[in-house]
A and B are shown apart, each in its own frame.
Chain A
């Protein structure tokens, strides 16, 4: 499956199937810091991805302190 990461934007290929929570653990991403978007749809952490899915892990942390 194709996994899209941001800041900077990049794409990686990971062998599926895999549950979203496991994907985050494998990539060492804190689930508090991203949205999981599968084929353009927001999904929760227990979603099972198949090999032909496109997954975006969209960061949600913004840095302005003002």
Chain B
């Protein structure tokens, strides 16, 4: 195969674009696709201070790298989840990446700073591990973005992630979730602006970006995610993609351009009236936010020392 742009030998083929690329042209393609997403969805301007949530995986490290390469001011946020060797290794890879590139990394540790870890939360609450993990990360991402006065929080959700979430939301006809599924969520009282600049990039492309640039990412899958519903949706979508290249991108982009508007109102209706959490001050529809409720339930049965209280500002910077 030859590169579509320069006709040099290709290193990767992308069937949905009916194209193959050499290394340099593929890196160029990735940056262009991210730029296109930022512009199309009006994610942020050139002066924005951006906080990228990084896990040590391919998507978040690649996103951090691409945004910096595009000239944006970007810091990383890493949350230690306490998932044994998996978390240890992802932390090592994230720190090594930040050090090698001279990027600023903010770190939060769920076990040290909040007194619990994801495996314990899952077992104590009978929630699926990904549910406790997602709830905890969303809360801490938002808190770190607000405490650090960042203009926007960026996450590494890619085309495959979003298509899988969309399939799940459609299978269960979740109007509120469908209304909130969009590459940009504006800032509202107590919530930072959130963006997904990789929404036009498949996860195979993000892995290729890391391999070509020698970005050492966590290849192994999270041991707690095995067999989850999200992976099942991805399997179904990839079967469709194999038969009909471009199916995933069409499913997702058509929703954004033609479907999302019909659910926008449902997102506001389901959110309801917001109060401040009695414990941490975060917006919540009840008296206590879901994060504090989860944490209280877990630590009430877990005799571990708490490093610092939950409403303390997050400011553990490794580099300035």
Contact = CB atoms under 8 A, between A and B. Distances in A.
Interface of A: 6-7, 30-35, 37, 41-46, 58-66
Nearest to B2: A44
Contact of A62 (B15, B23, B138, B221): B221
Contact of A6 (B10, B212, B220, B242): B220
A27 B308 CA distance: 50
Nearest to A63: B225
B222 interface: yes
A35 to B, nearest CB: 5
A62 B238 contact: no
A63 B137 contact: no
Nearest to B23: A42
Contacts of B168: 65
B165 interface: yes
Contacts of A63: 130, 221-222, 225-226, 228, 230-231, 234
8 contacts: A6-B219, A34-B204, A60-B204, A63-B222, A63-B226, A66-B134, A66-B135, A66-B137
B216 interface: no
B211 interface: yes
Given A61-B203, A65-B230, A37 B211 contact: yes
List 8 A-B pairs, minimum CB-CB distance, nearest first.
A66-B134, A63-B225, A65-B230, A60-B207, A44-B13, A32-B238, A42-B11, A44-B1
A6 B221 CA distance: 9
Contact of B204 (A35, A41, A65): A35
Nearest to B16: A32
B161 interface: yes
B133 interface: yes
A42 B211 CA distance: 7
